[in-house]
Amino acid sequence: MKRTLAVIVAAAALLASACGSKDDLSGANQQSASGEVVVGSADFTENKILAEIYAGALKATGAKVSVKSGIGARELVVQALQDKSLGVVPEYTGNLLNYFDKANTTTGAEEVYTALKAKTPSGLEVLDKSEAEDKDVLVVSKATADAGVKSIADLAAKPDFVLGAAGEWATRWQTKIKDLYGVTFKEIKTTDTGGPVTVDALKNATVQVVNLYTTSADIKANGFVELADPKNMYPAQNIVPLLRSDAVDDKGKAALNNVSKALTTEKLAELVKKVEVDKDTIANVAAAFLATL
């Protein structure tokens, strides 16, 4: 949900100022023509960290690399890949598949990845998917989990529970959670998109369940427990490099695949925490991760 929202919100503003965006990327287009690989990112911390990691991994192969950070909406990023303004971007399998295939209904990790490879336009490609995911997850307190609520399916026996989530959650997921799991909530309280209002609602027990994201530092920090989603209500969102096929050589592709192999959801959450909570720089955090490869 978070990544979809980023696309919707950013698209209107950024497409309205498309001339400025083209000017911003025109230099990258010239760099690309000179053999430099331009790594782009969307405009949120996690994606910026991944872009810096990708750039560092490519530099280690001897490639000329620069980073164009915070571009914004997926529409602009994909267009920039296709017009050769960008060479590589970090992406999320489920949302990227839904962008390329509006009729998609697959949600499992392997099915989504297989479908994504088939639906990626000619001239672009996705490399190996990482185990790391940034996806929606329903979360409860440790006390609630200890009382037997370990899976979304367990919520079917808790019709008195209140859910805290962003305003559009009910529109997107209320019917699906009932159809898949037989779950209904006493109330769905509008909080925020996985932010402090949502976290505080669960900490203060004004709600019993909240919607967060698997790389949220707040889950571990507060001892929250993620509920299993055995029927894949939420689609897989594995981290995957999306690139222009001719932008990166075989050594570079192998380096990016090594990054994907080394990433886990827990490691990615820790990288985000180091920037957003510990206030380290994105460059330092990316360099420290690359030093472990």
Q: What domains does the chain contain, in order, with CATH numbers? A: 2-133+235-290 (3.40.190.10), 136-226 (3.40.190.120)
pLDDT band at residue 35 using 50, 70 and 90 as cut-offs: confident
**Which of 249, 239, 245 lies closest to 135 in space, CA to CA?**
239
Beta-carbon neighbour count of residue 261 at 10 Å?
12
- pLDDT the model gives residue 273: 93
- Please report, rounded to a whole number, the percentage of residues in the chain having pLDDT higher than 90: 85
Q: Is the pLDDT of residue 48 over 60?
A: yes
* Tokens 């027990």 -> residue: 205
Question: H or E stretch including 26?
Answer: helix 18-33
Q: Is the pLDDT of residue 47 over 60?
A: yes
197-239: per-residue pLDDT in tens? 999 999 999 999 999 999 998 999 999 999 999 999 999 999 9
pLDDT band at residue 72 using 50, 70 and 90 as cut-offs: confident
**Which of 53, 70, 59, 38 lies closest to 285 in space, CA to CA?**
53
Q: What distance in Å separates the CA atoms of residue 230 and residue 182, rounded to the nearest whole number?
A: 14
Structure tokens at 34: 């000179």
- pLDDT the model gives residue 257: 98
Name which residue leads in pLDDT, 116 or 32.
116
121-150: per-residue pLDDT in tens? 999 999 999 999 999 999 999 999 999 999
Name which residue leads in pLDDT, 196 or 8.
196
pLDDT band at residue 27 using 50, 70 and 90 as cut-offs: very low
Query: Are residues 18 and 12 in contact, defined by beta-carbon separation less than 8 angstroms?
Result: no
**Which of 157, 130, 143 lies closest to 256 in space, CA to CA?**
130
Structure tokens at 212: 């967060």
Q: Average the pLDDT over 21-43 and give the result.
A: 64
Q: What distance in Å separates the CA atoms of residue 141 and residue 129, rounded to the nearest whole number?
A: 31
CA distances from 76 to 39, 104, 121, 132 (A): 14, 21, 15, 24
Q: How many CA atoms lie within 13 A of 239 on its CB side?
A: 33
CA distances from 139 to 38, 80, 163, 261, 269 (A): 37, 36, 10, 27, 16
**Which of 222, 3, 212, 202 lies closest to 96 in space, CA to CA?**
3
